[in-house]
Amino acid sequence: MKNDIISDALNNIMNSKKVEKKEVRINKISGFLINIFEKMKEEKYIDFEVKDEADGKPYVIVKVLKLNVCKSIKPRYSVTTERVEKYVRRYLPSRNFGTVLISTNKGLMTQQEAEKNNTGGSLIAYFY
């Protein structure tokens, strides 16, 4: 998909993992994508570094550490606090394994942070 930067980036990471590459270069980036990578880095699934080319265009080098699956959620469902658990069960293989990212009015959060803050939002991606 040409217009969805998040899906493209996560698909590139999964494709490189399938061919057993340790690093991926992602050319199309945004601030929101960097926030997603930061959450994945906090959970110790990836490591990443933002670099600039000679002409000033930024790109990201992603190093896969212990990632099994990372995918974006389409369509981006809007969920309340009570319904988050339904989607966690749908996308993750078990209760305490993996992370679902939710975009809230207080910023990007994992499902645990959203439940603790009693906040709903839009489902963005999941990884484990």
What is the value of pTM for the model shown? 0.92
| Whether residues 56 and 88 fall in one domain | no
CA distance 97 to 123: 17
| Whether residues 84 and 119 fall in one domain | yes
Domain boundary among 18, 43, 64: 64
How many structural domains compose the chain? 2
Q: Give the residue numbers spanning the domain of 20.
A: 5-64
Could you report the per-residue pLDDT of 33-74, keeping only the tens digit for each?
999 999 999 999 999 999 998 888 999 999 999 999 999 999
| Whether residues 17 and 56 fall in one domain | yes
Give the 3-state secondary structure of the chain: CCCCHHHHHHHHHHHHHHCCCCEEEECCCCHHHHHHHHHHHHCCCEEEEEEECCCCCEEEEEEECCCCCEEECCCCCEECHHHHHHHHHHHCCECCECEEEEEECCEEEEHHHHHHCCCCEEEEEEEC
Domain boundary among 43, 64, 85: 64
CATH number at residue 79: 3.30.1490.10
CATH number at residue 60: 3.30.1370.30
Query: Would you state the pLDDT for residue 14?
Result: 96
